Amino acid sequence: MAAISPMDALSMSKAECRQTYLQANGKPYDKVVIGALIIKSDTKGNPGILMLKRAAHETIYPNIFEIPGGKVEDSDATILDAVKREVLEETGMELAEVVGAVRSFDYALEKKVLDDTGSETLVWYTSLQLNFVCQVAKHNLTVNREEHSEGQFVSRSELSELEVTKQMRAVVEEGFAWTNEYLTGSATRV
């Protein structure tokens, strides 16, 4: 069976995606999450990628920078619909086009839930994050203050100054490499 490109996932439903991209143990992920590397060039043509700082009240990674994104909802007909919705919700910007994809990654998070008896118990959830390089119609950023405290387009050198998880840094670094190829006309849509 041929490898499936992340770009192929854009037309899939959440259920199709969960059945296509399996964990190493062969089971579907509990959640599918998308990330949007929104690119913008400065006046000299140097690329920047939008980074959002998670709000201080967030229980997971407070005050850490990330790319816009979030979980794919049951109401999203396709993964592309989830990308459009998340970009709009978190940035106020309208997605113009998904131009490529970079590495995906998976992770597991622990969450407290109430069991049938009302007692708290810890449950592990597995997530797959698919990351896409995106262009927006206009760069009129409006940060959703419920989720993030600030947003900024950063250059590759400025990225090193931000507090970012190791996995997110790798995704954004790959996004810069992909964007440089895209701007010179040598990138493929993966």
Q: In this structure, which amino acid lies at residue 29?
A: Y
Residue 28, both tokens: 């579907």
Contact between 52 and 150 (Cβ < 8 Å)? yes
Q: In this structure, which amino acid lies at residue 36?
A: A
pLDDT at 186: 66
pLDDT at 45: 82
Mean pLDDT per 10-residue segment, the chain (190 residues): 78 96 93 97 89 95 97 98 98 97 93 87 93 95 95 96 97 94 68
Q: Which domains does the chain have, with CATH numbers?
A: 6-184 (3.90.79.10)
Contact between 30 and 125 (Cβ < 8 Å)? yes
Distance CA 70, CA 26 (A): 24
pLDDT at 189: 55
Contact between 134 and 37 (Cβ < 8 Å)? yes
Give the pTM. Answer: 0.91
